[in-house]
Amino acid sequence: MKLLFTLGLSCLASLAVLSARGQAASSSAMLTPPTAAIKAKVLTSPHGTRTDNYYWLNERNNPQVIDYLKKENSYYDQQMAPVKPLEEKLFNEMKSRIQEQDASVPYRDHGYYYYTRYETGGEYPLYCRKEGSVTAPEEVMLNGNEMGQGKAYFAIGGFDVSDDNQTLVYSTDEVSRRLYTLHFKNLKTGQLYPEKIENTAGSAVWAADNKTVFYTKKDVNTLLANRVYRHVLGTDPSRDALVYEEKDNTFSVAVSRSRSRRYIGITLHSSLSSEYRYLEANKPTGEFKVFLKREPDHLYEVQDANSEFYILTNWEAPNFRVMATPLTSTGKGQWEDVVPQREDVFIEQMQVFKDYLVLNERDEGLRETRVINLTTEIGQIIPFRELAYTTYIGVNPEYDTPVLRMTYTSFTTPTTTYDYNMATQKLTLLKEQPVLGGFVKTDYVTERVFVPSRDGKEIPMTIVYKKNFKKDGNGPLLQYAYGSYGLSMDPTFSAARLSLLNRGFAYALCNIRGGQELGRQWFEDGRMLHKKNSFNDFIDCSLYLIREKYTSANKLFAQGGSAGGLLMGAVVNMRPDLYKGVIASVPFVDVLTTMSDASIPLTTGEYDQWGNPADKQYYDYILSYSPYDNVRDQKYPNMLVLTGLHDSQVQYFEPAKWVAQLRATKNDNNLLLLHTDMDAGHGGASGRFKALHDIARQYAFLFMLLGQKTI
């Protein structure tokens, strides 16, 4: 998914006006921002003609483009110089809350206990296991610190261990384009196999023979995962068998192994439709069977247990239901309800055990966990008492067990790992993530409100602040939302966020339309020809926060990333007066141009999100809100725009073009900064401490706008 995107149209402006309007009043030297050259390009379609003055910034390998981005980075450094000491202070403060030598709770799989751990000072995790017992000697499968040493960017993707526990397949990315290379390691000898497989989606699964691996490759231009291959350990990858190729470029492909280990699965997925194919894991050279052919507007996923397939499906059930069918008959005519559709509860995730069915459900926007006994058909929600919280189904590789691993978190409770005995209904606390530095959760207050929107809907919003926060309109507040792809944003803990809350900030999470917090219709009401509801919802939440005196317009800040960056671009065009400052991370702001170009990564898979501009109705609608196309001669808030040169989701040139257009058009002296991480992509810097530098940079920007440089 793009989860952050692009487009373009602009106005001509003289270089003199560009220079004058882009100056930042906050700098005593009145530094002049870089000037992007105007090279007008006419973009034509059957539905209209636009002019893009900065289309040339699309040329990633053009030295002039790199030079311009570096100049923007230098301008950023100059403007942020007064708060550089504060940025370092914030970073060190955030780092001091981390228990540097730490480990995850081990989970059991095929006789081994697997976990990750960090060493003091280490950026990357070590992937480890112990045989038979958590007290057994440790075996380090992968040492991320050694593997990532000296690399500007490094990430370990997925990994899988063969059924005989002897061979590891894992993936790495050293560019941040999410094109992963597969590697194979003998876990008994520690030796790497000579073969490497490049341009994969990052995950691979073993068949039952301990020598065959199925994996997915990506198109290197569109970055769509569209082919599944079969590889035999010790052979030349160039001779791997292609077992499936997806011809429809609106679908992506993934491979998996069922938790029962009985089947290898191929999942074909678009925004509104899916298809599942399966193969017995002990017959790796066999033919995959189609479970149910894809149908328009039908999403389903399949898991097996005992003698049945369980299907999570939206067939005649917008909020999804769970059905079952015998392994020998997969047609709809044999499907029977296990958990019927409910209008007020949205089923988000399913995990099937031998004797239990576990669901993550959303009720009034909160994510809860329900356990159902498959024999008695009795279900129970695992109870928690906080006003707003989030539960997740954890890592549960074992199929025949009564124990469910799960996690719990909230704005005031660090990530907490539990084991829940589904037979005895006993909840056992295994670990609450340590937060050093004197953190006391009762020092903070969480509120949950439903904000009335302009069209009568009620928007869930969760707010957190320290107890001494006063609702008198004088406190600063950071407002965050996403609102796309049906991705729901939940109240989760952030140790870094304490640096804001402890200095008087409140933080508000808005569950605007476009997510699925209130069910499938909440998503439907925030996509395609209803996308503007997302923007209006965010603005209505801002107005509520000001009206109820949580903050004021001169102390309200907004933040969003990727598709949430699109949200930021839209709201600053619509209501720039509401915000003191805005942080837009990897923002998808050139929507019309991107969605008109099928060669750009991920475009075709997102027609169901934004619409296909080849259709005039969608062309006109996207044009009416696309941030880059709607920059105009008006005052804008102070803005920090962040991107990565190697971003695979939202290409770097979208935010770069947007900033250039804003500089040439807006009529204020407010700060406008662009920072490009020349080594990173969509997810920002790799490594746990490098990522904290990114957060410290953002917080320092907020405090600078408040005139606080030494707090």
Contact by Cβ (8 Å): 71, 35: no
Q: Which of 44, 69, 22, 18 is nearest to 653 (CA)?
A: 69
Residue range 555-585, pLDDT digits in tens: 999 999 999 999 999 999 999 999 999 999 9
Structure letter (DSSP) for residue 183: E
Residue range 324-356, pLDDT digits in tens: 999 999 999 999 999 999 999 999 999 999 999
pTM for the whole structure: 0.90
Contact by Cβ (8 Å): 387, 411: no
Q: pLDDT tier at 710 (50, 70, 90 boundaries)? A: confident
Q: pLDDT tier at 492 (50, 70, 90 boundaries)? A: very high
Query: Active site includes 647?
Result: yes
Integer CA distances (angstroms), 19 to 22, 431, 698, in order: 5, 55, 25
Q: pLDDT tier at 1 (50, 70, 90 boundaries)? A: very low
Query: Active site includes 270?
Result: no
Residue range 138-193, pLDDT digits in tens: 999 999 999 999 888 888 999 999 999 999 999 999 887 789 999 999 999 999 99
Q: Residue 402 in 3-state DSSP?
A: coil
Instruction: Give the active site residue among 162, 271, 562, 648.
Output: 562
For the chain, which domains are there?
Answer: 15-95+445-705 (3.40.50.1820), 156-298 (2.130.10.120), 313-434 (2.130.10.120)
Q: Which of 323, 419, 422 is nearest to 376 (CA)?
A: 422
The yes-or-no verdict on residue 414 having pLDDT over 70 is: yes
Residue-level pLDDT at 461: 98
Query: Active site includes 530?
Result: no
The yes-or-no verdict on residue 16 having pLDDT over 90 is: no
Residue-level pLDDT at 683: 60
Residue whose entry in the numeric block shows the structure tokens 């060493």 = 119
The yes-or-no verdict on residue 427 having pLDDT over 70 is: yes
Q: Report the alpha-carbon distance of residue 142 to residue 150 in Å, rounded.
A: 17
Residue range 622-672, pLDDT digits in tens: 999 999 999 999 999 999 999 998 777 788 999 999 999 999 999 999 999
Q: pLDDT tier at 310 (50, 70, 90 boundaries)? A: very high
CB atoms within 10 A of CB 455: 11
Q: Report the alpha-carbon distance of residue 703 to residue 586 in Å, rounded.
A: 21
Residue-level pLDDT at 681: 63
Residue range 600-616, pLDDT digits in tens: 777 888 899 999 999 99
Q: pLDDT tier at 685 (50, 70, 90 boundaries)? A: low
Average pLDDT (64-78) is 96
Residue range 191-226, pLDDT digits in tens: 999 999 999 999 999 999 999 999 999 988 888 899
The yes-or-no verdict on residue 95 having pLDDT over 90 is: yes
